[in-house]
C-alpha cells in the first residue's frame, strides 16, 4: 500500500512517480479528489503504462468528481511490471500558459485537486495463488538451489506427478479428453528435460509449453457431421466469453448433457449473466456495427471542435450499453431502429442537447416521442464510423443501412454501366444532389433503383 500526500496540479496531469508495479498482477486504486474553484464536476481520465513512456499509455477510463467536496473514485486493473498510472484532467483548457509565473496560490481558474492515491496490490486471495495450485496442486515447494530467494515445486515421483499435471492441463487446453498417445507425446518432453538434469518444475514447464504450441490448443479442430458436446461447449464459450470452456461446461460435456435443449439454454443464460460476457458485447457490436473502425477517421478539429476523446469513448460505450440492455432485458429487436430510451452520461447528453443529465456515469434515460434520438442509427458512434471526418456521407450510410440493418447489402457495381453524370446545376445541398442522381435511375441496374428509392426515408 502506498499513500501520497495532498497535491494541486500546476499542470493538468499527475504522474505517480513514487509508484511502479513490481510484479504482474491485479491492483486496486482509490483516488481522492475534488473540483477546485468551480461549481461544476471536474472530469479526469486515468492511463496506465510504463513509467518513462507516456506515449505507450493505455486508457483505463473516465471519472468525475464534484466541486469542493472530496470524493473517492475506486477501480481495479491488471498491470504489467514497472507500470504506473497517470491522472489527466479534462476540459480545463482555461488554465493560462503562464501559470508558473502567476503561482498556484494566485490562480483563479478551475482546477482538479488530487488529495491522495491509495494503491493495493498485487491482489491475492491466498498463497500460492489459484493459478499455481490449478497447475501443481498441493505438491511441496523448496528453495531453489543457487537462488535461495526463489522457491520451486519438487516431487518424489516426478514422472507420475508430471503425467497427472499434463493430463489435467491438456484436457483444459484441448477442450476435450486427451488420448494416451497425446499425453505420452508431451510427457516425453518432460522425460527428456529430467534426463538432461532439469529440476522437476522446469521440466514440467517445458511440457506445458509444448501443449500451448500444439495445433489442438491453437485451433478448434472439429469433426464433420453433428457436433459433439465438447464442440458445443467450445463454441458456446468462445462465442459468449471469447475464452475456453470453464469447468462446468466441460463437466456437462463429459456427461453428454449439453445436447439437451433445456440445459443448453440454461448454460447460455449463465454465460450471458457472467461479467466475462462483456467480451461478447464488445466483439459483437464491434463487428456488426463497425465500431472497431471508430479511429479510422479523425473529424476535422476546425469543423468539429467539440469532438474529443471523452466524446469518442462515451459514444462507443453508449452503443455497447444499449446493446447490453436490449439483450439482458429481452427487449424487442426493433429497439435497434427506434427506441424510447437511450444510455447516456453527461457528456453525451450535452452533445445530443438533452438536459438534466450530469456526470460520467451512464444511465437509462427515457426519450420523448418526438426525439430525434433512439436506436443505433442516430448514435454518435455509428454516425462517426459512417462519415469521412469532414462531411456527412449519405451514400456510405445508405450502404451501411442496407448491409447492417436490412441485411441486403448493395450489389457490386456493374462494369458495363458507365459512371453517372447527372445535371446537378443549382443543387446546393447533398440532399438535392442525390435527388438529381435518382432522376437518372433509368440507366441503373434494378437493385440500385430500388435501393435509391428507399434510402431517402432512412437517411434524413
Q: Is residue 232 part of a domain?
A: no
**Model pTM?**
0.80
Q: Is residue 399 part of a domain?
A: no
Peptide bond into 67 cis (omega under 30): no
Handedness of CA 189, 191, 194, 199 (dihedral sign): positive
Which of 80, 99, 120 represents a domain boundary (last residue)? 120
Residue 98 and residue 17 in one domain: yes
pLDDT of residue 95: 52
Residue 364 and residue 428 in one domain: no
Q: Is residue 228 part of a domain?
A: no
Residue 116 and residue 134 in one domain: no
Residue 109 and residue 38 in one domain: yes
Q: Is residue 416 part of a domain?
A: yes
Q: Is residue 352 part of a domain?
A: yes
pLDDT of residue 410: 86
* CA atoms of 374 and 184, how far apart (whole Å): 59
Q: Is residue 415 part of a domain?
A: yes
Domain residue limits at 162: 130-218
pLDDT of residue 413: 73
pLDDT of residue 423: 62
pLDDT of residue 98: 58
pLDDT of residue 419: 61
Residue 109: count of CB within 10 angstroms of its CB: 14
Q: Is residue 52 part of a domain?
A: yes
Residue 435 and residue 386 in one domain: no
Buried b (16+ CB within 10 A) or exposed e, 415-438: eeeeeeebeeeeeeeeeeebeebe
pLDDT of residue 184: 95
Total domains in the fold of the chain: 4
Residue 33 pairs in a beta bridge with 71, 114
Residue 8 and residue 90 in one domain: yes
Which of 76, 94, 120 represents a domain boundary (last residue)? 120
Residue 417 and residue 320 in one domain: no
Which of 332, 359, 391 represents a domain boundary (last residue)? 391
Residue 139 and residue 194 in one domain: yes
Are 112 and 62 within 8 A, CB to CB? Answer: no
First to last CA, the chain: 56
pLDDT of residue 460: 43
Residue 108 and residue 87 in one domain: yes
Q: Is residue 224 part of a domain?
A: no
Residue 53 and residue 154 in one domain: no
Residue 6 and residue 89 in one domain: yes
pLDDT of residue 144: 84
* CA atoms of 338 and 379, how far apart (whole Å): 11
Tell me how far CA of residue 183 lies from CA of 157, 158, 190, 211, in angstroms.
17, 15, 11, 10
R_g of the chain computed on alpha carbons: 29
* CA atoms of 43 and 348, how far apart (whole Å): 13
Residue 142 and residue 92 in one domain: no
pLDDT of residue 11: 47
Residues of the chain whose pLDDT is less than 50? 1-11, 94, 443-460
CA angle 65, 341, 41 (to 5 degrees): 10
Amino acid at each position: 500500500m502506498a499513500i501520497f500526500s495532498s497535491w494541486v496540479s500546476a499542470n493538468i496531469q499527475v504522474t505517480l512517480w513514487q509508484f511502479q508495479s513490481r510484479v504482474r498482477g491485479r491492483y486496486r486504486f482509490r483516488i481522492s479528489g475534488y473540483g477546485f474553484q468551480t461549481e461544476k464536476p471536474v472530469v479526469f481520465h486515468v492511463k496506465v503504462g510504463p513509467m518513462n513512456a507516456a506515449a505507450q499509455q493505455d486508457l483505463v477510463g473516465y471519472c468525475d468528481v464534484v466541486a469542493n467536496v472530496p470524493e473517492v473514485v475506486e477501480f481495479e486493473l491488471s498491470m504489467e511490471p514497472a507500470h504506473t498510472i497517470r491522472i489527466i484532467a479534462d476540459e480545463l483548457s482555461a488554465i493560462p500558459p503562464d501559470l508558473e509565473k502567476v503561482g498556484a496560490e494566485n490562480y483563479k481558474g478551475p482546477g482538479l485537486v488530487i488529495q491522495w492515491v491509495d494503491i493495493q496490490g498485487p491482489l491475492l486471495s491466498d498463497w500460492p495463488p489459484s493459478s499455481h495450485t490449478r497447475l501443481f496442486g498441493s505438491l511441496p515447494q523448496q528453495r531453489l538451489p543457487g537462488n535461495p530467494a526463489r522457491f520451486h515445486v519438487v516431487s518424489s515421483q516426478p514422472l507420475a506427478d508430471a503425467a497427472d499435471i499434463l493430463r489435467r492441463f491438456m484436457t483444459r487446453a484441448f477442450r476435450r479428453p486427451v488420448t494416451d498417445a497425446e499425453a505420452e507425446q508431451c510427457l516425453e518432453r518432460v522425460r527428456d528435460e529430467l534426463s538432461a538434469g532439469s529440476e522437476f518444475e522446469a521440466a514440467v514447464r517445458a511440457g506445458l509449453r509444448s501443449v500451448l504450441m500444439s495445433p489442438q490448443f491453437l485451433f478448434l479442430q472439429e469433426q464433420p457431421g453433428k457436433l459433439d458436446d465438447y464442440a458445443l461447449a467450445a463454441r458456446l464459450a468462445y462465442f459468449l466469453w471469447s475464452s475456453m470452456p470453464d469447468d462446468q461446461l466441460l463437466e456437462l460435456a463429459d456427461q453428454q448433457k449439453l445436447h439437451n435443449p433445456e440445459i443448453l439454454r440454461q448454460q447460455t443464460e449463465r454465460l450471458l449473466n457472467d461479467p466475462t460476457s462483456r467480451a461478447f458485447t464488445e466483439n459483437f457490436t464491434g463487428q456488426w456495427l463497425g465500431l472497431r473502425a471508430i479511429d479510422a477517421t479523425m473529424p476535422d478539429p476546425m469543423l468539429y471542435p467539440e469532438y474529443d476523446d471523452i466524446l469518442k469513448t462515451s459514444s462507443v460505450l453508449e452503443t455497447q450499453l444499449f446493446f447490453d440492455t436490449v439483450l439482458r432485458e429481452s427487449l424487442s429487436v426493433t429497439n435497434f431502429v427506434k427506441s424510447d430510451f437511450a444510455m447516456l452520461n453527461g457528456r453525451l447528453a450535452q452533445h445530443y442537447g438533452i438536459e438534466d443529465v450530469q456526470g460520467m456515469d451512464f444511465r437509462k434515460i427515457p426519450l420523448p416521442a418526438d426525439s430525434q434520438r433512439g436506436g443505433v442509427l442516430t448514435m454518435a458512434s455509428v454516425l462517426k464510423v459512417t462519415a469521412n471526418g469532414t462531411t456527412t456521407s449519405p451514400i456510405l450510410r445508405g450502404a451501411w443501412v442496407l448491409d447492417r440493418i436490412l441485411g441486403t447489402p448493395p450489389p457490386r457495381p456493374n462494369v458495363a454501366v458507365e459512371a453517372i453524370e447527372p445535371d446537378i446545376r443549382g443543387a446546393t445541398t447533398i440532399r438535392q444532389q442525390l435527388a438529381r442522381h435518382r432522376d437518372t435511375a433509368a440507366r441503373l441496374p434494378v437493385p440500385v433503383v430500388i435501393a435509391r428509392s428507399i434510402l431517402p426515408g432512412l437517411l434524413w
